[in-house]
Structure 1
Amino acid sequence: MIQRIQTIYLLVVVLVSGALPFWLPLWTDQEANWVYAQDELMILGGFGVVSILALIAIFLFKNRKNQFVVNRLNMIFNLFLLGFFVYRSLTLSGETNVSEKGIGMLLPIVSIVFLVLANKAIKKDEDLVKSVDRLR
């Protein structure tokens, strides 16, 4: 059933990772220009992988165990993306001047939160199915 709450959570992850990086800035460069996800190929690829994995997980609703595993893999990709952002923010050049970090660097954290909520809902569904099977 695709009309479950984890589908809503996964759609939020698709929107957060697939659309928001194009509008929310990540950081400023040395010339005080905002850097977006489409300016860095590796970051764009990372956000693309995260949104595609969330979209794949939506359509794995018939196999909850695989959906759970794909969400865990998606969390790992988000952690790598977050780690890259932390590394990039710590090594930004021009730290003697005031450099700005954008709100776009927090998008992997939002994705991880919604992936955890989706996994909790998937686990709850799996436990419900197991309890019904036990009563037969």
Structure 2
Amino acid sequence: MLQRIQSVYLLLAAGISAGLIFVFHLWITNEDVKIFAMDELLYFGLFLGSAALSLLSIFMFKNRKLQFVLGRLNIILNFILLGFFAYQSLNISGEALVSEKGIGIFLPILSIVLLALANKAIKKDEDLVKSVDRLR
């Protein structure tokens, strides 16, 4: 059942986590060097982990409970990533390392929204199956 709406949401979340990190920079240093997620190993690993969880969740369509749990884990992973970005941007006093923040810092927020929509659709499917089972 790959044609369900949650598969589209999960595919978009994977595309944001794996594809857009190469397009949008995270921040610009004082020396006008753009820092992308692939330049920082921690951020790159967390983004790719989020994309892998989204893709894995797409193919768990036969087990909706596991798909729902993987979606929640992915949301938690994106909140951790967002926390690292907030720490990076707020902890630095003055203009020490980060001169200008990029749009790449907001990519986990888009991913969280798409994952929440996917989990809502998964829950709706699970409730539908339970209601049909009650009629038997």
TM range (shorter): over 0.9
Matches within 5 A, 1:91-130: 91-92=91-92, 94-95=94-95, 99-130=99-130
Q: Given the superposition, is the C-alpha separation of residues 133 and 37 from structure 1 closer, same or farther in structure 2, using an over 3 Å criterion? A: same
Contact kept in structure 2, 1:9 and 1:117, CA below 8 Å: yes
Q: Given the superposition, is the C-alpha separation of residues 132 and 108 from structure 1 closer, same or farther in structure 2, using an over 3 Å criterion? A: same
**C-alpha separation between the residues in 1 aligned to 2:117 and 2:97?**
39
User: How many aligned positions are there?
Assistant: 136
Give me the CA root mean square deviation.
1.6
Aligned partner of residue 95 in structure 2, secondary structure: coil
Q: Structure 2: any 5+ residue segments left out of the alignment?
A: none
Aligned partner of residue 10 in structure 2, secondary structure: helix
1:15 aligned to 2:40?
no
**Which segment drifts farther, 25-34 or 107-116?**
25-34
Paired-residue identity, %: 60
What per-residue deviation string (whole Å, max 9, x for no partner) do you get for residues 67-117 of structure 1? 000000001100000000000011346528982100000000000000000
Q: TM-score, normalised by structure 2?
A: 0.95
Contact kept in structure 2, 1:30 and 1:93, CA below 8 Å: no
Contact kept in structure 1, 2:68 and 2:122, CA below 8 Å: yes
Q: TM-score, normalised by structure 1?
A: 0.95
